Amino acid sequence: MSVMALDVEKIRKDFPILDIKMNGKPLVYLDSAATSQKPKKVIAAISKFYKRYNANIHRGVYQISVKATEEYEKSKKKVASFINSESFEEIVYTRNTTESINVVALGWGEQNIRKGDHILISEMEHHSNIIPWQILAKKKGAVLDYIKVDRKTAHLDEASIEDQLAKSPKLVSIAQCSNVLGTINDVKRIAGQAHKMGALVLADAAQSVPHMPVDVRDLDVDFFAFSGHKMLGPTGIGVLYAKRILLEQMPPVFGGGDMIRSVDFLDFTPNELPWKFEAGTSNIEGGIGLGVAIDYLKKYRMADIRKHETEITKYALERLGNANINVFGPDIKDTDSRTGVISFEVPGVHPHDVAAILDSEGVAIRAGHHCAMPLVVNVLGKTAVSRMSFYLYNNQNDIDVAIGALDKVRDKFRHSRG
Amino acid sequence: MDIYAEEIISHYEHPHNKGRLDSSSASFHELNPLCGDEITIYLKIEKGAVADVKFDGEGCAISIGSASMLTDELKGMKISDIEKMGVKNVVELLGIDPGPARLKCATLSLKATQKALQTYQKDAKK
Ligand SMILES: Cc1ncc(COP(=O)(O)O)c(C=O)c1O
């Protein structure tokens, strides 16, 4: 293998959980697509907040409240610069990707979608980018359309994109990276095509922002959703980016404290951006922790993280191929459009059993429909698949241990075959 | 403890009583929505006992293996005894403790059986 783009051994020391044992074996964590592990710096920042300056934000005049407010707001500026948004005013904090997408459906969707309108998503979406649109479409009498996945290449089908866009959808909402296939969709190009047809564009960036450089202005997306917990940050903090004009036009979705400027018995005036969309006491530790996670990622540079993950992915695909394991997603020659997510099956063995046997070897992988039932059941034709996914702290040894454990799976199920 | 005892894997790869029962007195389709495992149990009941039983479905070694072993056990059993069965009986039957993560798989077929019996009893009362 070529020279590592990252000093992974140094990085590994920053993640305390990598020292634990699972079932008596060193933990090999291959489920970062579900949630990432957290570096010491993030854990320490959250702990420091509670130990040194815990106070509510935006209301206290005393020193620690001012400090908490500053740190929280600073984190938004870090998020804005990380995705190259124009201002922190375009950064709305939510609980996660799912909530971000729901805020768009409930705010923008409620205001703009009418009977007979089309909403366009794809066959490779996570449930969180399907259900909010199903609910909205049902409520409004709108039509939900799907871009087909090319069964051979695991990419969005070009002809299907054209056909569906010809219906002039109001909104196109697609994943930048699939959490099952690993496919990277060309959001920039699709956004260009969609805008020409008068649609707005939402990108579900849950699996892209943590793993590669992103630039919302270059992509020219209107809405952009991702989760802190998948990018080294804590759980319970997510991001909705939206172009300023859209946030100005959108009505607030949740009402309560902090999202208002003034209230009387009859009515209210909403607060300025981005607070208009954040009702009630915020997830202060979450915002602060996310900011520190971004500092950490920036230190190692997203382009290098992407390069490292591509190398690891190539290595894993080779080893899996040699072990005769069926892999889903783009071809090994196509790793440029593939993230560090590999779904696979061991012929004749149920994915649940694969995951359980790997667990007994200390290897954490996921098995199931991965919250993408239409993709797994209808496109891949499976009830479940196994999935391993990588991050900046995974090394070749992790893959070797996983492949060794997969051999054990084979051995166990070979017994009674005869 | 290794939950993949050879007996379970052998039942998974060569399941007993797999298929449908055309003349069943009761049947029930049970789903484990978390992992997509599904099992349908078909029961033929005569004189308050199981005269025949089959199951159909798809799932992991633990759910299919336990369905195969359970259906062997059910033949000839009285309804009232089946209704009393619980996790403990399944663990005894399998000879392993599946642990909390896999308990749902191990008990899927028992649940389907008991729900089939519930509908059978309800229909009988009508
Ligand atoms: C592509 C994609 N979209 C959305 C989500 C939902 O993320 P969250 O559960 O953090 O809202 C996930 C996470 O599993 C994902 O992989």
| A119 and A86, same domain (yes or no) | yes
Cβ–Cβ of A352/B37 closer than 8 Å?
yes
Looking up residue B90, the CATH number of its domain turns out to be: 3.90.1010.10
| A168 and A310, same domain (yes or no) | no
CA dist A151 and A164 (Å) reads 18
Q: DSSP per residue over A340-363, as a string?
A: SEEEEE-TTS-HHHHHHHHHHTTE
Helix axes of A284-300 and A302-322: crossing angle, nearest 10 degrees: 80
Cis upstream peptide for A274 (omega within 30°): yes
Residues B44, B25: contact at Cβ < 8 Å?
yes
Closest CA to A233 of A39, A101, A20: A39
| A291 and A367, same domain (yes or no) | no
Give how far Cα A291 sits from Cα of A74, A81, A246, A297, A339, Å.
8, 11, 25, 10, 24
Q: How far is A416 from chain B (nearest CA, A)?
A: 5
**Chain B residues near residue A377 by CB distance under 8 angstroms:** 36
A128 lines ligand 1 (CB under 6 A): yes
Partner residue facing A383 (CB), from B13, B36, B64: B36
pTM for this entry? 0.93
A126-178 tens-digit pLDDT: 999 999 999 999 999 999 999 999 999 999 999 999 999 999 999 999 999 99
A98 lines ligand 1 (CB under 6 A): yes
Partner residue facing A368 (CB), from B13, B36, B105: B36
Closest CA to B93 of B71, B76, B113: B71
pLDDT the model gives residue A3 = 53
Does any domain span residue B126?
no
Q: Which residue of B has its CA nearest to A24?
A: B1
Bridge partners, residue A260, by sequence: A270
| A212 and A278, same domain (yes or no) | yes
Six-digit token string for A329: 């997603």
Q: Coil, helix or strand for A75?
A: helix
Six-digit token string for A190: 């699709």
Count of CB atoms within 10 A of residue B119's CB?
12
Cα of A130 vs centre of ligand 1, distance in Å, is 11
ipTM for the whole complex: 0.84
| A219 and A326, same domain (yes or no) | no
- Give the domain range for residue B102: 2-120
**Boundary (domain end) residue, out of A249, A280, A298:** A298
CA A95 to ligand 1: nearest atom: 11
| A76 and A88, same domain (yes or no) | yes
A173 lines ligand 1 (CB under 6 A): no
| pLDDT greater at residue A109 or residue A413 | A109
Cα of A205 vs centre of ligand 1, distance in Å, is 8
Residue with tokens 């996310």: A290
If you average pLDDT over residues B93-122, what whole number do you get? 91
Residues B113, B82: contact at Cβ < 8 Å?
yes
Show the DSSP H helices in A113-173 as ranges.
131-140, 158-165
Cβ–Cβ of A417/B37 closer than 8 Å?
no
**Count of domains forming chain B:** 1
A370 lines ligand 1 (CB under 6 A): no
A179 lines ligand 1 (CB under 6 A): yes
pLDDT the model gives residue A34 = 98
Cα of A348 vs centre of ligand 1, distance in Å, is 29
Please give the positions of A annotated as active site: 371
pLDDT the model gives residue B61 = 93
Kindly tell me if the per-residue pLDDT of A185 is higher than 90. yes
A:B CB pairs within 8 Å: 57
**Count of domains forming chain A:** 2
Does any domain span residue B30?
yes
pLDDT the model gives residue A58 = 86
Looking up residue A267, the CATH number of its domain turns out to be: 3.40.640.10
pLDDT the model gives residue A418 = 38
Does any domain span residue A39?
no
Six-digit token string for A318: 């080779």
- Give the domain range for residue A404: 8-30+301-417
A204 lines ligand 1 (CB under 6 A): yes
Strands A28-29 and A363-364: parallel
Question: For chain B, which residues lie within 8 Å of any Cβ of chain A, measuring from their own Cβ?
Answer: 2-4, 6, 9-10, 13-14, 34-38, 58-62, 64, 101-102, 105
Going by the DSSP 8-state scheme, the letter that residue B89 receives in this structure is H
Cα of A372 vs centre of ligand 1, distance in Å, is 10
Q: A93, A371, A373: which to mutate for ligand 1, most atoms within 8 A of CB?
A: A371
**Boundary (domain end) residue, out of A298, A321, A351:** A298
Cα of B12 vs centre of ligand 1, distance in Å, is 33
Buried-exposed string A73-109: b where 16+ CB fall within 10 A, e elsewhere: eebbebbbebbebeebbbbbbbbbbbbbbbbbbbbbb
Does any domain span residue A115?
yes
Q: How far is A134 from chain B (nearest CA, A)?
A: 20
If you average pLDDT over residues A113-120, what whole number do you get? 98
**Chain A residues near residue B13 by CB distance under 8 angstroms:** 348, 413, 416-417
Q: DSSP per residue over A228-281, as a string?
A: GGGTTS-TT-EEEEE-HHHHHHSPPSS-STTSEEEE-SS-EEEPSTTGGG--SS
Kindly tell me if the per-residue pLDDT of A398 is higher than 50. yes
Confidence class of residue A417 from pLDDT cuts 50, 70 and 90?
very low
CB-based contacts of A8-17 (< 8 A; 24+ apart in sequence): A8/A308, A8/A392, A8/A393, A8/A394, A8/A395, A9/A395, A11/A300, A11/A392, A11/A393, A12/A393, A12/A395, A14/A39, A14/A40, A14/A41, A14/A296, A14/A393, A15/A39, A15/A40, A15/A393, A16/A40, A16/A43
CA dist A335 and A200 (Å) reads 29
Cβ–Cβ of B4/A412 closer than 8 Å?
yes
Partner residue facing B9 (CB), from A356, A367, A415: A415
Confidence class of residue A6 from pLDDT cuts 50, 70 and 90?
very high
CA dist A355 and A30 (Å) reads 11
CA dist A247 and A250 (Å) reads 5
pLDDT the model gives residue A59 = 79
Among the ranges given (A4-8, A180-184, A191-195, A205-209), the one the predictor scored with the smallest mean pLDDT: A4-8
CA A230 to ligand 1: nearest atom: 10
Rg (CA), chain B: 14
A360 and B CB contact within 8 Å: yes
| A292 and A388, same domain (yes or no) | no
- Residue whose CA is at the smallest distance from ligand 1 atom 7: A97
| A210 and A108, same domain (yes or no) | yes
A376-389 tens-digit pLDDT: 989 999 989 999 99
Cβ–Cβ of B60/A416 closer than 8 Å?
no
B12-46 tens-digit pLDDT: 999 999 999 988 999 999 988 777 789 999 999 99
Cα of A176 vs centre of ligand 1, distance in Å, is 12
Cα-flanking dihedrals φ and ψ of residue A256, to 5°? 155, -155
CA dihedral sign of residues B59, B62, B68, B71? negative
CA dist B124 and B116 (Å) reads 12
**Boundary (domain end) residue, out of A298, A321, A347:** A298
Does any domain span residue B93?
yes
Residues B46, A392: contact at Cβ < 8 Å?
no
pLDDT the model gives residue A297 = 98
Kindly tell me if the per-residue pLDDT of A416 is higher than 60. no
Confidence class of residue A181 from pLDDT cuts 50, 70 and 90?
very high
Count of CB atoms within 10 A of residue A340's CB?
29
Pick the residue of B9, B64, B103 with the most A CBs within 10 A to test the interface with A by mutation. Answer: B9
Kindly tell me if the per-residue pLDDT of A315 is higher than 60. yes
Strands A238-242 and A223-227: antiparallel
CA dist A342 and A248 (Å) reads 40
Q: Which residue of A has its CA nearest to B99?
A: A356
Kindly tell me if the per-residue pLDDT of A124 is higher than 80. yes
| A238 and A310, same domain (yes or no) | no
| A342 and A290, same domain (yes or no) | no
Say which amino acid occupies A8: V
Six-digit token string for B105: 């798989």
